[in-house]
Amino acid sequence: MEQHQHIGNKSPNHSGHEHRSETVATTDMAQGFQKYTCPMHPQIIQDAPGKCPLCGMDLVPMVKQESSVGHTSHKGGIADFRKRFYVVLLLTVPVMLLSEMIQHWLIIHFSFTGSKYVLFFLSSIVFFYGGWPFLKGLVGELRAKNPGMMTLVGFAISVAYIYSTATVFGLQGMDFFWELATLILIMLLGHWIEMKSVAGASRELELLVQLLPDDAHLVHGKHIMDVKTETLKERDVILVKPGEKIPADGIITAGESYLNESMLTGESKPVEKITGDKVIAGSINGNGAIKVTVSHGAKDSYLSQVIKLVQDAQKSKSKTQLIADRAARWLTLIAIVAGIATFLVWYLSGKDLAFSVERMVTVIVICCPHALGLAVPLVVAKSTALSAQHGLLIKNRTAFENSRKITTLVFDKTGTLTVGKFEVSKIVSISPVLSENQLLKLAAALEQNSEHPIATGILQKVKDLSLSVPAAVNFNAITGKGIEAMVDGDDIKVVSPGYLQEKQIAVPIDYSAEATETVVFVLVNDQLAGYISLADSIRPESAEAIQTLHKNNIKSVLLTGDNRHVAESVANKLGMSSFFAEVLPHQKLEKIKELQDSGEYVAMTGDGVNDAPALAQADVGIAVGSGSDIAAETAGIVLVNSNPKDVVSLIQFGKTTYRKMIQNLIWATGYNIVALPLAAGVLYKMGILLSPAAGAVLMSVSTVVVAINASLLKVK
């Protein structure tokens, strides 16, 4: 069966992230094209509204003067927050020393003429420089009519700054510049740590991008020249030296080696590759030098298709994420309402303006829905990239999340539970003048121009035995029964058992065949000369996969077009729950419907064109990657390896991923139940009161906890 190389028909971008320069962004803006960016990750610039691929926040419209703020890499964004943090840290020390409250706590008195104006000046630098990312985000979110985290933080620090400034210039009350400075300091630190965590969560995708080497050795006649990988095109011949990465998908035309495909398939064992075998771009060559004929360029390579799938999956919204989005919007509204209500309650109850403003600021900061906004996207980013590395390509996020609900898993037989490749299991000659090898050579002579699986099996056996195949002429197909031709003057036929029954030719006395075997008979001049048995062997991993499913209370059903004897034999050997045999393509779909109507949540796994309708009908469609493009296009999930154990891994990983999402959502919302009342001051009379800085710490910690929890996701 032809190895599946294309996951989709669309040509993806080569890189994992589209890095736009400041110049390009500025030029585009000048031409009047509206651009959108992430308030937290200004390096993300897109042509349309949507979600930030790094953190899941809503993208906001850019303004022309802001385009120069953007960075060309995620590293630049982290560096920006780090720089702002250190600057604010240096300024926070004198701000705190000049603050009356801090001096009161430390029982010191330190002032000089104009000290309050120095305090105001230093705090202003902290506010405008350190708070700039939040102020910019506030403007962007309000323009987009989509208030979120940046709105809350920007509003909180603005209220604190304006009130404190008013006290400097005559308003009765005590400033809290020191709280403003510490609030901004902690918010910058939290975002810096968070961005590093987010970068870690998306690093797996970057590793996929880096798998493709920059250069390739192009064979041009007798000369070899180094060219850029992206310049390779179909039918180019390249040399891959020992230890080098494969630069493009293709077929080995000379040499043999062992290839490490673990980064693409999750299979740690090196795979032997010989002349005629297909290779995947990004694989690492072993000790042998090989020549490869390129089957398609870099942009259409299997690896690029995987990267595109991962990106699309990370951008796609699942039901869980939609719930999180709605919750984040509600939390934003709650924060604003709760903040204002807190201010009014305290102020109207007789507390001074400074205290009331401080409570409002703390409530608003602590209720920022940032952790909630990141809860699902971070898990999505981690899970899709990890699954791609382990041979599980998620095309449909909802299908992946729903894999935890599967109660019945339907398997196609050929190519899924079995190898999908017929191998010669027995050669029996009943002719006194023909040896087994001679009988095999005659059969091969007729089958050498056929692509039928039986022909492939016979020819492979000839190759393994290093036998020469005689020439055949005057080919003639015996409809539905076999083939005939002339070989060395003899009339040779390779036919099915049905032909013998039709011609009333008796089978040998010692003839026997396993239920799983397919038998062809060889006739020489209409005399039975012998027979060849072929079997599609069951994958060694199939039995273990079925056992694991049963341990997890998931039924396994065999669905095949093969005859009942073969189906029953395979199902019994593997210990499957049930089987359906002799099923036509349209009937496969009907069988899936029957299972669904009986209350089962059905997953279907298959590899052929005939499986596509059933894959589409199933609650979760899983295509085996070695199969057809149509099957892969129809399914929500693609298995790169034709390994049934990967199906089990998929279900288990789906459950783990969903658990991570729920854990993050619970944490992101749950801490507010405790934190919000504390921020509002409900335990004030007991001496428990959260400062704005403490609120910022809790908010930042909640976000970092969510990021760390997502980063701990593993494929079992």
The catalytic residue positions are 412
Q: What are phi and psi of 391, to 5 degrees?
A: 80, 15
Sign of CA dihedral 667, 673, 678, 683: negative
CA distance 277 to 492: 31
Return the axis-axis angle of helices 115-125 and 177-201, rounded to nearest 10°: 20
Task: Determine the straight-line distance between the first and last CA of the chain, rounded to whole angstroms.
Answer: 29
What CA–CA distances, in Å, run from 106 to 116, 120, 179, 691?
Answer: 18, 21, 16, 17
Provide the token pair at 175: 């400033």
CA distance 86 to 90: 6
CB neighbours of residue 338 within 10 Å: 21
CA distance 226 to 627: 34
CA distance 1 to 608: 10
Fill in the amino acid letter for 362: T
- Three-state DSSP class for residue 531: strand
Check: CB of residue 38 under 8 Å from CB of residue 54.
yes
- Three-state DSSP class for residue 268: coil
Q: What is the DSSP letter of 674?
A: H
Residue matched to tokens 């992946």: 400
Going by C-beta distance under 8 Å and a sequence separation of 6 or more, which residues neighbour residue 650?
387, 392, 400, 403, 622, 637, 639
CA distance 396 to 310: 10
Check: CB of residue 371 under 8 Å from CB of residue 702.
yes
- Three-state DSSP class for residue 127: helix
CA distance 648 to 636: 16
CB neighbours of residue 691 within 10 Å: 17
Q: β-pairing, 602-606 with 620-624?
A: parallel
